Chains A and B, each alone.
Chain A
């Protein structure tokens, strides 16, 4: 029982930090407007905590061999995360703090699903999935909704 509690508290702590990172900025500082690039990077940070939480959750889950059903979140969750990072929606969402916080929560949840799903599919895959999700989120900051002046559209 004690060992179980000892295993649980880092997960609870990480979950709390993830929630705080995801929800605090939109709720506590609703007037702050980030440009698209910084907003993408902020999302990447939220997802990094989410992915770490997913890995922590999966650490105590049983695992040997392949569980193909877990591949579905590994593929679908990053795609949904990228779709949620549609820069055209940022202005609308930023004006609504609760929606903004929910959006961040959804991104964190998708990151949890990605890494947790990867680990449940097969040990080691969750780490790779988390890294690739982060690469995609950070990569978006350099061109998705961001273009130099005069660039062809």
Chain B
């Protein structure tokens, strides 16, 4: 790591906080929309189904983008410490993503585009209850987000390749296969966060290419309705893009834990051969697991269904065995300082495991044939997004605030925040798991019993969770102001 000059620290900090601030603001808006949907399903409030599906579309697209923004900004600043990059590129990527978010927002309010964030062909074009311009604006918005993501991935790919002597160095190939020569050469292996950057950029570029291809194809179909597309081809591309993009949010955010958690335990999280090989596995499995979204597509070649199941299982090993187990060992008997930052990072790893376990169950073909399109599906991804990615992001935010202010959160506030986020979060998430196990379908504005009853207590949990997040927000502002005051 090269020490940053004062000016460089400013650059790194501005990019990071711009992305993090925007991402968390979008997250807050999407969380309120999510609660609105849950309360409508509980019949607490009345929501026109057309509006419900429009909000559902925005909620899905917005949540993933919000967490991606947080990961992009945070990882950019971490990699900037390793190898200087041009901030203008990061600002361009940010501008494209934000322009896309605005376009998607307008396609829903007032456009009421409601084909779901997965925009599965031919759904955006057949039986639409929204105007054609809303379809076009949504597709253009997603294309802009994808373009911003590709710009970020290109810069990150260039960064890791330049910083560690090409792809071979970035993969730590010599550390794994020629360890003695590697040690004798005096070279240093890439730090753990560099593997997150490499995997996010390579898999992100693959997914981005797929996203751009389906994006252009759908925009052409929108402009020229006589154009035909193969629905199965479209579904494969859409899920390769969407699943990979969503999945990478947690692999970007884990970089915060690699860097942040060791500072609470005064230990080092170094790159080992096992860690490098684990990330190679992640590189492969993240790109091939998406097939589990197509189990119900009987025309899909059977061989790729097995690839989907095997990759989904294998994808669990690197994070569970190497990263989370490594994190637990890092903390074990370390006299860790428990602050809001460290609490979020540590708990986030538990959320990742719980959500990942739910995902692996759902990726098991005989189980998927029962749970497919039930609330079990949002159960697992809400767990790893809300109690995984978000907690890693909040952990990183508080780690920075605590370091800058030199202050920590009181035990009382930690308990209140913890009870709100984990307690309320558990009630909220259990609503999805129990509903899914009971066969309540997902993506239904009006659910069959026992859906409304479960939605009612899930809404209660979501309200408690949001209250906890408000406490966290207030505490974050307090720490930020404390820093501002001490700087003045």
**Residue ranges of A at the interface with B (Cβ–Cβ < 8 Å):** 66, 68, 71, 74-75, 78-79, 82-83, 86-88, 118, 121-125, 128-129, 132, 135-136, 139-140, 142-148, 151-153
Contact = CB atoms under 8 A, between A and B. Distances in A.
A66 B224 contact: no
B158 A124 contact: yes
Contact of A79 (B216, B233, B237): B216
Contact of B85 (A66, A78, A146): A66
The A interface, classified by DSSP as helix, strand, loop or mixed, is helix
A71 B89 contact: yes
Contact of A142 (B209, B220, B227, B233): B233
Nearest to A135: B209
Interface stretch (B148-156, B338-346, B352-360): B148-156
A142 B230 contact: yes
A147 B229 CA distance: 6
Nearest to A143: B233
Contact of B213 (A75, A124, A139, A147): A139
Given A145-B228, A146-B228, A146-B230, A121 B217 contact: no
Contacts of A86: 220, 224, 227
A71 B90 CA distance: 12
Contacts of B206: 132, 135
A80 to B, nearest CB: 9
Given A71-B154, A83-B220, A145-B227, 8 more contacts: A79-B212, A123-B161, A124-B158, A125-B158, A132-B206, A132-B209, A143-B229, A152-B231
B154 to A, nearest CB: 6
A75 B151 contact: yes
A151 B154 contact: no
Contacts of A122: 158, 161-162
B212 A82 contact: yes
B116 to A, nearest CB: 16
A123 B234 CA distance: 33
Contacts of B155: 66, 71
Interface in B66-122: 85-86, 88-89, 92, 122
A43 B376 CA distance: 43
Nearest to A151: B231
Contacts of B209: 78, 132, 135-136, 139
Given A121-B158, A145-B229, A132 B205 contact: yes
A82 B209 CA distance: 11
A151 B235 CA distance: 13
B53 interface: no
B158 A147 contact: no
A143 B232 CA distance: 8
B252 to A, nearest CB: 19
B157 interface: yes
A145 B234 CA distance: 11
A68 B86 contact: yes
A75 B126 contact: no
A18 to B, nearest CB: 22
Contact of A136 (B157, B212, B231): B212
